[in-house]
Amino acid sequence: MADEILSVRDVTKHFPLTQGVLFRHEIGQVKAVDGVSFELRKGETLGLVGESGCGKSTLARILMGAERPTSGSVRFEDRDVFALSRPELRALRRRMQLVMQDPYTSLNPRMTVGDIVGEPFAVHGDPEGGRRKRVRELLEIVGLDPDHVNRYPHQFSGGQRQRIGIARALALRPDVIICDEPVSALDVSVQAQVMNLLADLQREFGLSYVFIAHDLAVVRHISDRVAVMYLGKIVETGDEEQIYDHPTHPYTQALLSAVPVPDPTKRTGQIVLEGDVPSPTNPPSGCRFRTRCWKAEEICATEEPALEARPGRSAHPSACHFAGESDRS
């Protein structure tokens, strides 16, 4: 499709699990990402949600071209990211940026804010009008005082540090920003401010976002479409309304029923997810969610449900043999 900027096809990433110190041998594989496909359209936000350990950051690194997938492909516009020459990869790096969860560990504490935000120019060349001017402009764009260019990261609050990370990501005027849990480490009130900033920047600069979170509530307002991940796979995907108002996969339903509501006494039929997420080294046979699913039947252990729309039960893709709107939430 012409308006797709990023296209991800059947991507897997299996890390070898090794044992031994002198003679390391492989005793298994961590199936961190296990067959993920999606498209990102120009100017939209795709929310990518799942519990910790389900493969979100691994996928983010693959999208950035920073880690090679075990199989599958990533295309930026119509180019295969993993078939690019070095100069082409450099050019791609200008157009796609990453904003990470913890701004403190991703910002060098010994560099001034001006140097941090201006760092991409050292690699890719100075902008028109000069580096200093552009850095001040960038600080202003993200709501920071340009007179603070000579301060160090520790002199800023958590929310301000995330703004510094965003300013740096914007420096080279990218088209796509992969946001890997950019607000997860922030207080709720600060989260909203940073989310609003990201939404404003998207409108102003026509950015496309893949917005990663472990909580469905966080991405609701910024997402046009949402993909829910469980143990390395997308289990349900649809537009914002389909996922939040008509979820058909039991996992999505459970995640949504755990979203805090203003008056908890008004909540009915909360679904409690029991047990831990199984190990990605040895995922359950058939449907990976079956060890925690209240709807599981025999077929769930033997046949893996495909991620597809199911006429009459799910208008959007849902990887469940018994997909359908819940009567429990």
Ligand X SMILES: Nc1ncnc2c1ncn2[C@@H]1O[C@H](COP(=O)(O)OP(=O)(O)O)[C@@H](O)[C@H]1O
Which residues are near ligand SF4 by CB under 6 A? 250, 287, 289-290, 293, 295-296, 300, 305, 320-322
Closest approach, Cβ 292 to ligand SF4, in A, equals: 8
Residue 290 touches which member of ligand SF4, ligand X, Mg ion, none, C-beta under 5-8 Å by kind: ligand SF4
Q: Which of 45, 57, 208, 326 binds Mg ion (CB under 5 A)?
A: 57
Site for ligand X in 132-171 (CB under 6 A): none
Q: Which of 5, 6, 32, 98 binds ligand X (CB under 6 A)?
A: 32
Stretch of 49-57, 108-116, 186-194, 215-223 lying at the interface with Mg ion (CB under 5 A): 49-57
Residue 32 touches which member of ligand X, ligand SF4, Mg ion, none, C-beta under 5-8 Å by kind: ligand X
Q: Is 57 an interacting residue with respect to ligand X (CB under 6 A)?
A: yes
State the CB neighbour count (10 A cutoff) for residue 305: 21
Closest approach, Cβ 276 to ligand X, in A, equals: 12
For residue 300, give the nearest of 254, 232, 246, 251 by alpha carbon: 251
Residue 30 touches which member of ligand SF4, Mg ion, ligand X, none, C-beta under 5-8 Å by kind: ligand X
Closest approach, Cβ 320 to Mg ion, in A, equals: 25
Q: Which of 18, 52, 282, 285 binds ligand X (CB under 6 A)?
A: 52
Q: Say if CB 307 and CB 321 are below 8 A apart.
A: no
Six token digits for residue 165: 């990370």
Residue 295 touches which member of Mg ion, ligand SF4, ligand X, none, C-beta under 5-8 Å by kind: ligand SF4
In the complex with ligand X, the residue whose CB is nearer, 26 or 187, is 26
Closest approach, Cβ 67 to Mg ion, in A, equals: 13
Task: Build a one-symbol-per-residue string for 280-299: x at contacts with ligand X by CB under 6 A, - elsewhere.
Answer: x-------------------
In the complex with ligand X, the residue whose CB is nearer, 106 or 193, is 106
Give the 3-state secondary structure of the chain. CCCEEEEEEEEEEEEEEEECCCCCEEEEEEEEEEEEEEEEECCCEEEEECCCCCCHHHHHHHHCCCCCCCEEEEEECCEEHHHCCHHHHHHHHHHEEEECCCHHHHCCCCCCHHHHHHHHHHHHCCCCCCHHHHHHHHHHHCCCCHHHCCCCHHHCCHHHHHHHHHHHHHCCCCCEEEEECCCCCCCHHHHHHHHHHHHHHHHHHCCEEEEEECCHHHHCCCCCEEEEEECCEEEEEEEHHHHHHCCCCHHHHHHHHCCCCCCHHHCCCCCCCCCCCCCCCCCCCCCCCHHHCCCCCHHHHHCCCCCEEECCCEEEEECCCCCCCCCCC
End-to-end CA distance of the chain: 36
Q: Say if CB 234 and CB 306 are below 8 A apart.
A: no
In the complex with ligand X, the residue whose CB is nearer, 213 or 323, is 213
Closest approach, Cβ 53 to ligand X, in A, equals: 4
Closest approach, Cβ 283 to ligand SF4, in A, equals: 12
Q: Which of 30, 117, 178, 195 binds ligand X (CB under 6 A)?
A: 30
Closest approach, Cβ 51 to ligand X, in A, equals: 7
Task: By CB under 6 A, name the binding residues for ligand X.
Answer: 15, 30, 32, 50, 52-58, 280
Task: By CB under 5 A, name the binding residues for Mg ion.
Answer: 56-57
